[in-house]
């Protein structure tokens, strides 16, 4: 695992919520989260993310022994991340299988500040998981106001999980209540200034309001920060590309790809830019990279089609 300060959406698709998924089509992943002294971390957030499979994100919370289990993952290449207040993040990737056991995951989070003595307060990990499950069910039913209230209740009881504000903001965006969406993102930034997801979200709100200039300015400010990661670079590249600034877009797509070597999407977009400029050799190289680093993604399928056309 490589260490990286990464925060991802608590869009928890937990076991009970997806019990209707056929058992033969889903996988189970378990693991352990410890600090760099070997001590188990209670209440760490562990997420699994695959943007090409719906649901795209699953979340679990570690118990007293730092253990977690995520059930319901469909077969494919999943990115995993662990986070706990006062620690750096840790990320990794694994090909999830069903029908046979998956290897256990082990995360080590470096201490970068004092860990709250009781990050979950009086809430047990099991209770927290149940509350997130209930909130997610309301969200998936598009009961936005009820989902917002449920997520806010989680944050009120467990302030250490301020990352839940990302789901609150998402619900507000679905309501087109943009002012409150921005307020939720800013609430996360107040407790976690390094959250690139919040900054990308604020930029997305500007785009939804039709203010691309403000979205671009938000992301330009974000790329200047040491914590800038793949999503900031990628979303800024998308804006640059839409404006016809191909060279700038290509540089930013490359930075997004460098930030996440297993992400095919920015490489695919670079390949499309190369096709537009008539650089078939570069396009073929980039499309081949997409298939190599992210073989199960939608972009990999599109890259294979592009390669067929390029090789004719």
Residues 39, 41, 46: CA angle, nearest 5 degrees = 135
pLDDT given at position 26: 61
Domain boundaries, the chain: 2-191
User: What pLDDT is stored for residue 54 in this prediction?
Assistant: 67
Whole-number Cα distances in Å, 259 to 86, 250, 253, 294? 23, 14, 10, 14
pLDDT on residue 123: 58
What pLDDT, on a 0 to 100 scale, did the predictor assign at position 240?
94
Residue spans of the chain under pLDDT 50: 1-24, 113-120
CATH code of the domain occupying 2-191: 2.60.40.1120
Check residue 238 and give its pLDDT.
Answer: 94
SS (HEC) of 212-237:
HHHHHHHHHHHHCCCCCCHHHHHHHH
pTM for the whole thing? 0.60
Confidence (pLDDT) at 227: 65
CA end-to-end span of the chain: 40
Exposed (0-12), middle (13-18) or buried (19+): which is 128, by Cβ within 10 Å?
A: buried
pLDDT, tens only, 276-292: 999 999 999 999 999 98
């Amino acid at each position: 695992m490589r260490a990286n300060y990464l925060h991802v959406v608590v869009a928890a698709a937990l076991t009970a919520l997806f019990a209707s998924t056929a058992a033969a089509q889903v996988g189970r992943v378990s693991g352990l989260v410890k600090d760099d002294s070997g001590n188990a971390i209670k209440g760490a957030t562990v997420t699994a993310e695959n943007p090409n499979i719906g649901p795209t994100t699953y979340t679990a919370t570690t118990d007293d022994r730092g253990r977690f289990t995520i059930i319901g993952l469909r077969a494919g290449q999943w990115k995993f991340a662990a986070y706990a207040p006062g620690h750096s993040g840790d990320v990794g990737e694994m090909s999830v299988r069903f029908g046979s056991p998956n290897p256990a995951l082990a995360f080590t989070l470096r201490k970068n500040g004092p860990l709250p003595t009781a990050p979950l307060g009086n809430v047990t990990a099991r209770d927290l998981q149940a509350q997130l499950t209930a909130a997610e069910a309301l969200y998936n039913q598009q009961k936005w106001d009820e989902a917002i209230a449920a997520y806010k209740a989680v944050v009120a009881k467990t302030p250490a999980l301020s990352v839940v504000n990302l789901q609150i903001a998402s619900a507000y965006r679905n309501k087109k209540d943009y002012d409150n969406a921005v307020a939720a993102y800013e609430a996360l930034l107040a407790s976690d200034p390094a959250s690139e997801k919040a900054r990308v979200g604020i930029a997305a709100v500007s785009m939804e309001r039709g203010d691309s200039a403000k979205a671009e300015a938000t992301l330009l400010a974000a790329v200047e920060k040491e914590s800038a990661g793949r999503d900031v670079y990628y979303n800024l590249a998308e804006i640059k590309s839409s404006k016809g600034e191909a060279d700038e877009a290509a540089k930013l797509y490359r930075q997004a790809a460098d930030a996440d070597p297993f992400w095919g999407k920015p490489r695919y977009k670079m390949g499309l830019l190369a096709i537009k400029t008539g650089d078939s050799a570069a396009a073929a190289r980039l499309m081949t990279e997409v298939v190599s680093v992210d073989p199960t993604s939608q972009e990999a399928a599109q890259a294979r089609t592009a390669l067929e056309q390029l090789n004719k």
